[in-house]
Amino acid sequence: MLLHVLGTAAGGGIPQWNCACPGCSGARAHPERRRRHASLAVRTGEGRWYLVNATPDIGDQIEAHPALHPGPGPRQTPVAGVVLTDAELDHTLGIARLREADGLEIHATPPVHRALEERLRLGDVLRPYTRLTWQDLPRHGTRTLPGGGPGSGLRISAVPVSTKRPRYAADAPEDDAWVVALRLYDPATGKSALYAPAVAEWSDTLHRVAAEADCVIVDGTFWDEEEPRRTGISSRTATGMGHLPIDGPDGTARILATLPARRLYTHLNNTNPLVDPAAAQHKRLARLGIEVADDEMVIEL
């Protein structure tokens, strides 16, 4: 299995256009600290890739990864489709940027599909430009992301991790599949990866999948529970915003420390001290064997 990390920032990116916090200012002064919105490209076969989430940075993300460049035909693209973990704007706005495609396959859970069709009206808006083909990402069971050739393809399954609805759909029906983690399994090698850029609750099911995975890439939005309030970006705590913090008694670092997999954090908010490469928090994670994912990282399993 081949994974290309396309971005590692939470909504807003680093730097965020209207933010002068230390993390964003630091990234303006030191361009190597910039992070694009969190996303992953997954290879399912020869010259065939799926994007996990479609961010506002999607055009730049494709250009930064030669494996995703078009060719040899003038409009031939290796990007076969998009798999969504949720309906948040930082993970879905990029769909409109892909409207030059002849057609686009989008894998999403039922509430995410409905939010994009009925609230963002993506189907209506994009119909004159391209053809969206929706594929159901079920709460239980697996689906195949086709690889385009014999012995290729990946199996995906969704693990519910949060009932949080996007703000633009705050009054939509409750559902446990508003936010899911993705398990990616390669039948050819028996390897699996877990991608979970938002986690509000570390369930037993999530733990079982994480414990069996060869690589887990997990929500690193906030370092600690009080970070959003302390930095003044919100009146809510990290957990209140739908993101388990990294540090502390309910933090994910303690859990990740016990897993045999390669473990990485992604979806860093610009208030997270980890956006500064000199922060002491990097050493704390390193002692637990945990990494912070970087844009452009290539993970081969």
Binding site for Zn ion (CB under 5 A): 16, 19, 21, 24, 270
x-or-dash string of contact with ligand MLT, 103-142, rule CB under 6 A: ----------------------------------------
Binder of residue 21, out of Mn ion, Zn ion, ligand MLT, none (CB less than 5 to 8 A by kind): Zn ion
Element (H, E) at 59: helix 58-63
* Interface pick for Mn ion out of 57, 90, 105, 247 (rule CB under 5 A): 90
DSSP state, residue 281: H
Q: Which of 4-12, 124-132, 170-178, 240-248 is the region at the interface with Mn ion (rule: CB under 5 A)?
A: 4-12
Q: How far is the CB of 13 from Zn ion (least distance, A)?
A: 9
> Which of 154, 241 has the CB closer to Mn ion?
241
Residues near 270 by beta carbon (within 8 Å), at least 6 away in sequence: 9, 10, 12, 13, 14, 15, 16, 19, 21, 23, 24, 27
CB-side neighbour CA atoms (13 Å) of 185: 15
Nearest to 228 by CA among 250, 212, 211, 244: 244
Rule CB under 6 A: is residue 88 a binding residue for ligand MLT? yes
SS3 for 79? strand
Give the integer Cα–Cα distance in Å for 194 and 209.
Answer: 7
Rule CB under 6 A: is residue 57 a binding residue for ligand MLT? no
* Interface pick for ligand MLT out of 66, 141, 150, 167 (rule CB under 6 A): 167
Take residue 213 and report the two structure tokens written for it. 């995975």
Q: How far is the CB of 190 from Mn ion (least distance, A)?
A: 31
Residue 249: count of CB within 10 angstroms of its CB = 7
Binder of residue 270, out of Zn ion, ligand MLT, Mn ion, none (CB less than 5 to 8 A by kind): Zn ion
For binding to ligand MLT (CB under 6 A), which residues are involved?
10-11, 88-90, 167, 198, 241-242
